[in-house]
Amino acid sequence: MADEATLIGAARAARERAVAPYSGFKVGAALETAGGAIVTGCNIENATYGLTVCAERVALLKAVSEGHRAFRRIAVVAATEDATPPCGPCRQLLWEFCGDIEVVLANLERDLGHHRLAELLPLPFDARFLS
């Protein structure tokens, strides 16, 4: 298991690779697998905004495409004073692929909080409703 400083550091480093020419709002994420690997992601914008992909989803989709299927926690970093939690679509995908993982929120200087995904996404829609 990676220590928290390593996980947050990986998210901060990923944030530096963000492509945010329109909003200037750069976000980095680092997803820790059950095996202790860290997979990072950054937000990638485009002119339509609607096709922009968030850092959390980039990290998750990279991890899944590399064969990871079990996860411990995710760190999300933005250059904001207050914590920047995952958006709704990110929460949904994290829930489906990761379950009730820990979500660590930080800015460029410090840890801003720890949450369970179930706190951030109460009453999630998932496969239980499709049977």
- Read off the pLDDT band of 129 (50, 70, 90): very high
How many distinct structural domains can be found in the chain? 1
Q: Which of 4, 56, 66, 109 is catalytic?
A: 56
Tokens 């660590």: give the residue. Answer: 104
Q: Which residues span the domain enclosing 96?
A: 4-130
The count of other CB atoms within 10 Å of the CB of residue 84 is 18
Per cent of the chain over pLDDT 70 is 100
Q: What is the CATH number of the domain that holds 57?
A: 3.40.140.10
Q: What is the pLDDT of residue 105?
A: 98
Q: Is 109 a catalytic residue?
A: no
